[in-house]
Amino acid sequence: MTAVDCENLGVIIRPAVNDDAAPIASILNALLATTTIEWTETPQTPDSILEWLDEHERVLVAEEGGEVVGVAAFGWFRDVVKRPGYRFAVENTVHVREDHWRSGVGQALMHALVDEARATGKHTMVAAIDGANEVSIRFHERLGFVPVASIPEVGAKFGRWLGLVLLQLRLDDRAGPDDG
């Protein structure tokens, strides 16, 4: 992918590079201590982000004025080495710096990410979202994701049980994996 200039937003969507590790960590850590958006209490470091970059098939960032203001990625939905039947499904994540919420940056990142998934032959994208995160659930629904599962009390953080909502976006209309 080459960089995409979103003139109306004043941002460029481009593939993440190693130099983006620190700002990506900052974005992912911003709400870690106060929300259940991420089900961990361990902050990301630039080194852990470098590993995270390697674990994902695509990672895109939104850059404005030379600063990373958002990140979106997709990677395996399940371990495709052990279970190759899942090779056409990916799980996404998207995070935007708080001062850019509701600016269109998240939507631009997701449109670019979905385009990348389609270009690589993926069939479905899954979003796994904390059940209490109504903003993220509605955001994904506006992008065409549909709720397919709700799993109560599957996680924990802050001394309480957390539920998970799975949403799915079909990326193509192939009748089977060998079609098209």
Please tell me whether residue 173 adopts helix, strand or coil conformation.
coil
The three-state (H, E, C) secondary structure of 91-114, written as one string: EEEEEECHHHCCCCHHHHHHHHHH
pLDDT of residue 66: 94
Instruction: Calculate the alpha carbon distances from 66 to 23, 61, 149 in Å.
Output: 11, 11, 39
pTM of the model: 0.93
Q: Which tens digits make up the pLDDT trace of 61-96?
A: 999 999 999 999 999 999 999 999 999 999 999 999
For the chain, what is the mean pLDDT?
94
